[in-house]
Amino acid sequence: MLNMTSENKDSDTMPDPLLIQESGEVYRNPTEVQMSQIVLPCHANHCGELSVGQLLKWMDSTACLSAERHAGCSCITASVDDIHFEHTIGVGKVVNIIAKVNRAFTSSMEVGILVTCEDLYTDRQWKVCHAFATFAARRTEAGKVKSLKQVIAHTQMEQMEYSLAAERRRMRLIHAEIITDLLSKCQEYQDAVAAERTRVESVELVLPPHANHQVSTFGGQIMAWMENVATIAASRLCNAHPTLRSIDMFHFRGPSHIGDRLVLKAIVNNAFKHSMEVGVCAEAYQGGEPLRHINSAFMTFEVLDSDRKPCTLPRIRPEPVDGKRRFQEAIARKKIRLDRKYIISCKQTEVPLSVPWDPSNQMYLSYNNVSALKLMDNRNNWVLASEKNKVRLYTLEENQMLCFKVEMNVRVSAEQTFHLLSDLRRRMEWDRHYESCEVINQADEEDTIYRVATPSVTKGGKGKDFILLASRRKPCDSRDPYLIALRSVTLPTHPPTEEYTRGEVLCAGFTIWEESSSVTKITYYNQATPGVLPYISTDIAGLSSSFYSAFSACSQFLLANKDSLAPKPSVQY
């Protein structure tokens, strides 16, 4: 999803270095499609800025062409992840859209979309938004779903997006499940505006110009119509022209065709101090048939004053029953957005590094945890520091951080290695830096929170303890590793104590690759923050006995237990 990780921001502004192929030609992603449009008055809204609806149509068209270039057949828009619009675009500016397929699954694929704005007079460009859309290959005449070919990643950036696409797909599948855990008690406000006043309903007849080359309504056209009615609803609350700031995920539940009547409905679900959420849905029908639900989305608007600062908005009085439910769900969605923004915007060089954990932000913390490890695994500028008995130590200095990785092969299956290393309590059997380890929260099968205590590195000094979220992932296919990602979190039930100094881990963990049925490559990563640097600083200059003995012990531990099942962590809530 958009803006889930700080690394996505880097990828928006840092293009892949040129890859020269054997033929001497510069490599270009075969699925890449580019569109450039100059913004004319007919594309603009009342403020002389590009209509978001028009931009969504251009984005959808570009992404669809990229998907079809990879699939070799017709494709339809299945969903579009959250979009955050960083800037508006004025008349006369040029919109540049680049779309390319990041990863293909069985019958669907993720397409990354980057939108930038260009000023022709100053030769300046800036990012507008970065989105991820899911497209599905259409069924054949025989009714079968086309099985898509794999995406081959050539550059480091393509490898990163390929790897992260699997994690984003996982988030899409569970995105709606966390809303029910966040519903808050409805609070009444005096002098609130009745939500009914903001209700908008509009109908559109789908004509040939609204359809794509497959005779289905453009997904972008439907999104544009939805944005239109949502803007009207927002205007009715504030009696002003609102600015669309973000859109929660679009999910297309069914197709629409020429001749359909599309009924578009919008209402303000809730208003906060400086923003409001508008819920909008699209339903279709032909003749006397019942309405078909096509799409629904949630859009966040602000109202800006003459200095482009957000204005204070009136409160909403929800309708009974469904209105109160929407009111409460809007509070939950706002909390999710704030959690996500906080988790992702934390700068890696700032302390504290830990993020508060609770069930509502587990999905985003887990995503960020795994994504950070995948990014380290995809870096290609590691420097081999030393090697001893086939244990290799690599280092990487970046952004005032010292990263290191230790790599070795073991004659144990990858799945068994994953099981044995997943339970951090067993790490005490081979790592002398683990003095004690206990499970303090078993969130689910993939996410566990541990408290780890480590001995003092100085005589008479305090030891350190860490509250670590361990996120485990099995591979989606043979091109993915097993992953065990670690990062610090904060739990109110486990504050720092007098006996230990609280340490923090930004990113650490294992990637486990299957080299063959009996040989596994294990790579351990760690970003050396001030809290863990004392434990490894003496080893970085060369592979000392400390590193060698630890990973030699790890190898022996895995071999001794290669035929046993690792015990599952006990569930504690």
Q: Are 536 and 524 in contact (CB under 8 A)?
A: no
What average pLDDT score do residues 30-59 get? 93
What's the confidence (pLDDT) of residue 564? 78
For residues 158 and 207, membership in a common domain is answered with no
Q: Does residue 162 belong to any structural domain of this protein?
A: yes
- pLDDT(541) > 50: no
Does 529 have pLDDT greater than 90?
no
Q: Are 33 and 100 in contact, with CB atoms under 8 Å apart?
A: yes
User: What rounded mean pLDDT belongs to the chain?
Assistant: 84
Question: 132 and 25 in one domain?
Answer: yes
Kindly state whether residues 30 and 101 are assigned to the same domain: yes
Closest to 276 (Cα-Cα) out of 331, 209, 223: 331
- In the structure, what pLDDT confidence band is assigned to residue 332 with cuts at 50, 70 and 90? confident
Q: How confident is the model at residue 3 (pLDDT cuts 50, 70, 90)?
A: very low
**Axis-axis angle for helices 533-540, 545-560 (nearest 10):** 110
pLDDT band of residue 178 (cuts 50, 70, 90) is low
CB 58 within 8 A of CB 97: yes
Question: Is the domain of 523 the same as that of 434?
Answer: yes
Which tokens is 55 given?
């931009």
How far does CA 134 lie from the centroid of its chain? 13
Q: Do residues 561 and 553 lie in contact, with contact meaning Cβ atoms separated by under 8 Å?
A: no
Q: Are residues 388 and 528 in the same domain?
A: yes
Identify the band that residue 26 occupies on the pLDDT scale cut at 50, 70 and 90: confident
Residues 232, 228: Cα–Cα separation, whole Å: 7
Q: pLDDT digit string (tens) for 47-93?
A: 889 999 999 999 999 999 999 999 998 899 999 988 999 899 999 99
Domains held by the chain: number: 3
Packing angle, helices 156-174 and 6-13, rounded to 10: 140
What is the maximal distance between C-alpha atoms in the chain?
A: 83
Dump strand ranges (E) for 400-446.
401-410, 436-442
Task: Based on the fold, state whether residues 297 and 397 are members of the same structural domain.
Answer: no
CATH code at position 275? 3.10.129.10
Residue 4, pLDDT above cutoff 60: no
Beta-carbon count within 10 A of 445 CB: 9
Q: In the block, which residue shows the tokens 């990858």?
A: 414
Confidence of residue 360 (pLDDT cuts 50, 70, 90): confident
SS (H, E, C) 364-390: HHHHHHHHHHHHHHHCCCCEEEEEECC
CA distance 137 to 106: 9
- Domain for residue 341, yes or no? yes
Q: Are 493 and 366 in contact (CB under 8 A)?
A: no
Q: Is residue 96 part of a domain?
A: yes
Is it the case that residue 17 has pLDDT exceeding 70? Answer: no
- Taking CA 272 as the corner, what is the angle to CA 270 and CA 274, rounded to the nearest 5 degrees? 130
Whole-angstrom distance, CA of residue 503 vs CA of residue 161: 31
pLDDT of residue 385: 81
What average pLDDT score do residues 255-280 get? 93
Q: Lowest-pLDDT range, 496-505, 523-532, 534-543?
A: 534-543
User: Is the pLDDT score of 115 beyond 90?
Assistant: yes
- Answer yes or no: is 440 within a domain: yes
294, 326, 345: which is the final residue of a domain? Answer: 345
Q: Per the domain annotation, does 566 fall within a domain? A: no
Minimum mean pLDDT range among 311-315, 331-335, 542-546: 542-546
Residue 417 is encoded by which pair of tokens? 């290695």
Dihedral sign of CA atoms 38, 44, 48, 53 in order: negative
Predicted local confidence at residue 189, as pLDDT: 59
pLDDT value of position 456: 83
Q: Measured between alpha carbons, how far is 107 from 204 in angstroms, rounded to an integer?
A: 31
Percent of the chain exceeding pLDDT 70 equals 84
pLDDT at 343 over 70: no
Q: Which of 164, 181, 198 is the last residue of a domain?
A: 181
Last residue of a domain, one of 165, 181, 197: 181
Residue 568: inside a domain, yes or no? Answer: no
> Residue 498 class from Cβ within 10 Å (0-12 exposed, 13-18 middle, 19+ buried)?
exposed
Q: How confident is the model at residue 459 (pLDDT cuts 50, 70, 90)?
A: confident
Q: Are residues 331 and 306 in the same domain?
A: yes
* Contact of 206 with 262, CB cutoff 8 Å: yes
537 lies in some domain: yes
Please tell me the number of Cα atoms within 13 Å of 35 on its side-chain side.
Answer: 21
Domain shared by 164 and 275, yes or no: no
Regarding whether 199 and 144 lie in a shared domain, the answer is no
Dist. CA 210–CA 200, nearest whole Å: 22
- The confidence score (pLDDT) of residue 307 equals 85
Q: Are 450 and 504 in the same domain?
A: yes
Distance between CA atoms of 471 and 479, rounded to whole angstroms?
Answer: 19
Q: What share of the chain is helix, strand, coil (3-state, %, to 5)?
A: 30, 35, 35
The domain in which residue 382 lies consists of 355-560
Q: What's residue 572's pLDDT?
A: 44
Assigned token pair, 541: 């200059």
Co-location of 372 and 298 in the same domain: no
Both tokens assigned to 396: 């990487």
Lowest mean pLDDT among 124-128, 262-266, 502-506: 502-506
| Residue 1: pLDDT band with limits 50, 70, 90 | very low
CATH of the domain at 499: 3.30.530.20
The answer to whether 363 and 178 are in contact (CB under 8 A) is yes
The answer to whether 243 touches 207, Cβ cutoff 8 Å, is no
Rounded Cα distance between 556 and 342, Å, is 41
Q: Does the pLDDT at position 106 exceed 90?
A: no
Counted residue by residue, the chain has a size of: 573
Q: Does pTM surpass 0.95?
A: no
Asked whether residue 431 falls in the same domain as residue 517, the answer is: yes
How do residues 290-307 score in pLDDT, each as one tens digit? 999 999 999 999 998 888
Q: What pLDDT score was predicted for residue 359?
A: 77
Domain assignment of residue 350, yes or no: no
The three state secondary structure string of 440-493 is EEECCCCEEEEEEEECCCCCCCCEEEEEEEEEEECCCCCCCCEEEEEEEEECCC
Question: Over pLDDT 90: what percentage of the chain?
Answer: 48
What are the φ and ψ backbone dihedral angles of 37, each rounded to 5 degrees?
-135, 135
d(CA 188, CA 172): 33
281: alpha, beta or left? (left if phi > 0; alpha if psi -120 to 50): beta
The count of other CB atoms within 10 Å of the CB of residue 225 is 24
Omega before residue 352 within 30° of 0, cis:
yes
What is the pairing mode between strands 33-38 and 94-104?
A: antiparallel
